[in-house]
Structure 1
Amino acid sequence: MPFAFHYAARSDVGMVRSNNEDSGYAGPRLLAMADGMGGHAGGDVASSTVIASLVELDDDAISGREVSQALLDRIHAANTELGDQIRHDSSLDGMGTTLIALLRSHDKVVLAHIGDSRAFLVREGQVTQITKDHSFVQNLVDEGRITQQEAQTHPQRSLVTRVLTGDAHDEPDLVVRQGRIGDRYLICSDGLSDYVARDTIDEVLLGVPDPGECADRLVALALRAGAPDNVTVVVGDIVDAGRSTAPSTVPEVVGAAAARRGGTRPIPLTPAAKAAALTKEATGAGDDEPDDRVTLAEEGPRSRRGLALRLAAALVVAGVVLAGGSYAAYAWSQQQYYLAASDGVVSVYRGVDQTLGPVALSSEEYATTIAVDDLPPSYQESLERGIEASDRSDADARVSDLRLQAQACRWSRSNGEICQTVPSSWTQPTATPTPTPSPTATPSASPSPSGSTAPTSATPGRSRTPVTPLPPTTSAPVTS
């Protein structure tokens, strides 16, 4: 049975932004959405460039395993073009874009994804998110440091860890899915998913049959929620291509890659004309083209003086916002501390144990003389994952506790005994599913190096939650 997409694409600049950095495309075989970043310095250029590179796939007759490679090749080519543009124009340095692309081949759908834009599948009355964000906050969720609910309001939820930036190491996730008649796909920018509740999105996807009406409704809900970011949605239903009322085969392009004169309705273009127009728009060529060429959404009437003034003003605003957001994110990370193993000893780090591309968000504050091998096994495991501290003084206190643990462990081993832990001012996580610390085992007495007795306790179990130790217990620190 021949399949086809019944599709719609919509985009809106949002309630705060002055320009649209999103680009969306919907066609008979291809659904794609890119969320650019970099402000007027290149966000719209990045998203338009990538979408322009993909649209030819909507025409090509590709089948079998070739379709996956064809999609990946086009993404790599688009990413290479981003790098070339940055090298030739320093003002574009820092631009990048997310991407979600769905390419249909017979009854298969190839999904490519990089960044924090999202894709959802509606099948048999159930809505499922089929992508995982490439973001700093998602890493925290994966590591168990925060819950999915906490991630929705985390102050750094906009920090992405993987996007297309022109770097040769940028690599999307690629999966092949089995298509079914009746499936519905939604791909969207975070302007929708960050501001409209998931259950509301599900309700609209399940309750509005027509893709165009569904897309309109989702954009309207995001605007009603006061979404400050650009909002772009692409909806595609898998239908029987041989049915009496066949869906439209005219592609739709929206956002930074298309001209819109109000509302969210796209201007339909043929794939060949659209590819040429998007390429000119991304490179800045063709200023003297006739009025039917594709233009950026924020350009309006083509007065060069007016455009220059608007561009200059927007550059100032975008620069302030981007600089402020980047500084806030970095400042927050530099208020964090954690302990980890380094060259066989315990070291204290300032920042968070994450990287954003080539940028590390932590640096070594100081190295201690505590040998990791001197610590009980459970503490060594915690160090491998990283022991978080609330501030510098808390980190210093944890170093003192680890020094005590190492001293007690060395003494136990020197006397042929199993290394034990001693009570301290903080407790490692236990295996209980609740955040309440489990009771510490009754200490037993053993001679200390100084001739006194040092209490020991049962070795703590491994935690089902992340490396962050539980709050301090009421046990008093051991005195020598």
Structure 2
Amino acid sequence: MSIALRFAARSNLGLGSKTRNEDSAYASPDMLVLADGMGGHAAGDTASSTVVAELMALDGESWGADEAANQLRAAVLRANDRLREQMDADVETEGMGTTLIAFLRSGNNLAMANIGDSRAYLVRDGVFSQLTKDHSFVQALLDEGRITAEEAEHHPQRSMVTRVLTGREDDQPDISLREARLGDRYLICSDGLSDYVAHSTIEGIVTSQGTPGDIADRLIEIAIKASTRDNVTVVVADVIDGNERTSTTPQIVGAAADRAIGREFDDTQEQPQAPRSPAEKAAALQRETSAPTPVEQPYDDYEDGDTQGMPQLAEEKPSRGKWRWFALGIVLVAMLVAAGLLAYNWTQNQYFVGQKSGKVAIFKGVPQDLGPISLSGVDQSTDINVADLPSFYRDKVNDTMTAKSKSDATRVVADLRAQIERCKLDTTGSNCAS
């Protein structure tokens, strides 16, 4: 008996400051793909859509089980090469990258590719399990027993990935092959869901009754209620009898739907939807109000004698109650000064990790200046050379790493020191490229 996937893909901008979706996803009866782009202004949306476009080319072909795994690996490496080509051609995209989760059906098997911290989950016989292991800083701490699973869910550095597709030769995905069974349910998602919604909550939704579309909608909804600050994308698929498939038309969502690779799927592309929940409405309103205010048409643009639509000038009125306004002004100035002092005192209770004269250091304050006034200073120096850190962590330190407290900052420094030691013992150099 042949199998197929009954699927649904959903993506949402999230409630953060991002004005564009950097996630991309593709779903069909034989293939599921999700990529979470990164790089911000360095074109994370380009990275995710480029990789999804390359993998889509595998869909519709018939492969043996082992061949499917080999083809999937080859496609991921080709996609990674394309990232390098794009960065070489356009300097503004330098530094972009993307995570990737992909399933390719071969008979009753699924070949899986994984790199980064996007996740794949499986529900089989009512049991919910995570199929992938994050390639992340926090996962390394978890593997070494330095933190618990509960601490990992809320760790401040949980978004720091150690392996993603960045166009480098050593960007290698994990490839595996697994049997698919009737009744299985698969979920792949970006960290806009897994970083903001508890594992138990995700489990409760995915194991509940409903179509893949129902489950996907509920996952997006719960991520928004959890105030996700990142783009959130999910793909849900049920394994069904191949003779029961109801739709063979692929779905494409997120950044990929906004780019040229989605034009052939115009009838199924995800279209922008009006915000539904209060949180979504508020986020949309914030983005709209942050847009530049239209400039009023100057009077010179109106023809002589044509006053229709011309802004009206208010008549000048005598000043009244000037002393009242003067007193109010003094009060407002005093309030602003007090607020400024409180804000400054707050900054001096904050900590972050950065670099000073080429060395890793713990700073007290915030990494900003207020005119000529610096809002931070070195609280503790270390002997760690920033140049000795792997490139990923070196960039993080140069950009500064926030900490919840001085003890948390001290733990970050210890983790950086441990990362250098791990790299000295890593003979492959896969995670320690300089």
TM-score range, shorter chain: 0.5 to 0.7
Match of 2:249 in 1: 250
Which stretches in structure 1 are left out of the alignment for 5+ residues? 260-273, 281-288, 299-309, 315-326, 337-346, 363-388, 395-480
Q: Structure 2 vs 1, CA of residues 212 and 295 (structure 1 numbering), >3 Å: closer, same or farther?
A: closer
Partner of 2:211: 210
- Structure 1 residues 7 and 145: CA distance shift in structure 2, 3 A: same
State the shift of 1:297 in Å. 6.7
1:140-159 correspondence runs (5 A): 140-159=141-160
For residue 208 of structure 1, report the CA deviation from its aligned partner.
2.8
Cross-structure match for 2:276: none
For the 8 Å contact 2:65–2:111, the answer to whether it is kept is no
1:184–1:331 Cα change, 3 Å: farther
1:355 aligned to 2:390?
A: yes
Partner of 2:38: 37
Q: Percent identity?
A: 49
2:12 corresponds in structure 1 to 12
* Separation of aligned partners in 2, 1:198 and 1:147: 14
Contact in 2 for aligned 1:162/1:357 (Cα 8 Å): no
Q: Deviations over 1:246-297 (max 9, x none)?
A: 23111000011114xxxxxxxxxxxxxx9xx3189xxxxxxxx9x9897997
User: In structure 2, what is the equivalent of residue 73 of structure 1?
Assistant: 74
Give the Cα–Cα distance (whole angstroms) in 1 for the partners of residues 34 and 52 of structure 2: 7
1:397-454 Cα distance to aligned partner (Å, 9 max, x none):
xxxxxxxxxxxxxxxxxxxxxxxxxxxxxxxxxxxxxxxxxxxxxxxxxxxxxxxxxx
TM-align CA RMSD? 3.6
Ranges in structure 2 where 5+ consecutive residues have no aligned partner = 274-287, 293-350, 363-381, 398-408, 415-434
Give the equivalent residue in structure 2 for 1:201: 202
TM-score computed with the length of structure 2 as normaliser: 0.64
C-alpha separation in 1, matches of 2:81 and 2:105: 24
Q: Secondary structure at the match of 2:181?
A: coil
Number of residue pairs matched by the alignment: 308
CA deviations 1:95-127 (Å, max 9, x no partner) are: 000000011111111110000111101001110
1:49–1:279 CA contact under 8 A, matched in 2: no
SS at match of 1:112: strand
Provide the C-alpha distance between the structure 2 equivalents of 1:107 and 1:212, rounded to a whole number of angstroms: 23
8 Å CA contact retained: 2:257, 2:269: yes
Segment of structure 1 superposing worse, 202-211 or 118-127: 202-211
CA distance in 2: counterparts of 1:215 and 1:294, whole angstroms: 16
In 2, Cα distance between equivalents of 1:186 and 1:330: 37
Structure 2 residue aligned with 1:399: none
The alpha-carbon distance between structure 1 residues 293 and 247, as it changes in their structure 2 partners (threshold 3 A), is closer
Go from structure 1 to structure 2 and tell me whether the alpha carbon gap of 1:52 and 1:296 turns closer, same or farther (over 3 Å shift).
farther
Greater mean deviation of Cα atoms: 1-10 or 137-146: 137-146
Q: Structure 1 CA distance, aligned partners of 2:76 and 2:55?
A: 7
Greater Rg over alpha carbons, structure: 1
Counterpart in 1 of 2:261? 278
Provide the rounded CA distance (Å) in 1 between the counterparts of 2:34 and 2:217.
16
Give the SS at the match of 1:48: helix
Closer, same or farther: CA 47–150 of 1 in aligned 2, 3 Å: same
| Map of 1:124 onto structure 2 | 125
- Aligned-partner Cα distance in 1 for 2:116–2:32: 16
Paired residue for 1:271? none
Whichever residue aligns with residue 206 of structure 2, its letter is L
The code of the aligned residue for 2:116 comes to: G
Q: 2:360 is matched by which residue type in structure 1?
A: Q
- The answer to whether the 8 A contact 2:111-2:177 is kept is yes
Query: Any residues of structure 2 matched to 1:382-401 within 5 Å, and which?
Result: 390=410
Structure 1's 126 and 148: CA in aligned 2 closer, same or farther, altered over 3 A? same
1:452 matched to which residue of 2? none
Write the distance in 1 (CA, Å) between the matches of 2:53 and 2:8: 18
* 52-61 or 75-84, larger mean C-alpha shift: 52-61
Distance change >3 Å, CA 256–CA 328, structure 1 → 2: farther
Q: Could you tell me how far apart the structure 2 residues matched to 1:135 and 1:221 are?
A: 24
Structure 2 counterpart of 1:72, one-letter code:
R
Structure 2 counterpart of 1:38, which letter?
G
Cα distance in 1, alignment partners of residues 387 and 203 from structure 2: 34
Work out the CA distance in 1 between the residues paired with 2:354 and 2:132.
27
Q: Structure 1 residue 65: deviation in Å?
A: 1.3
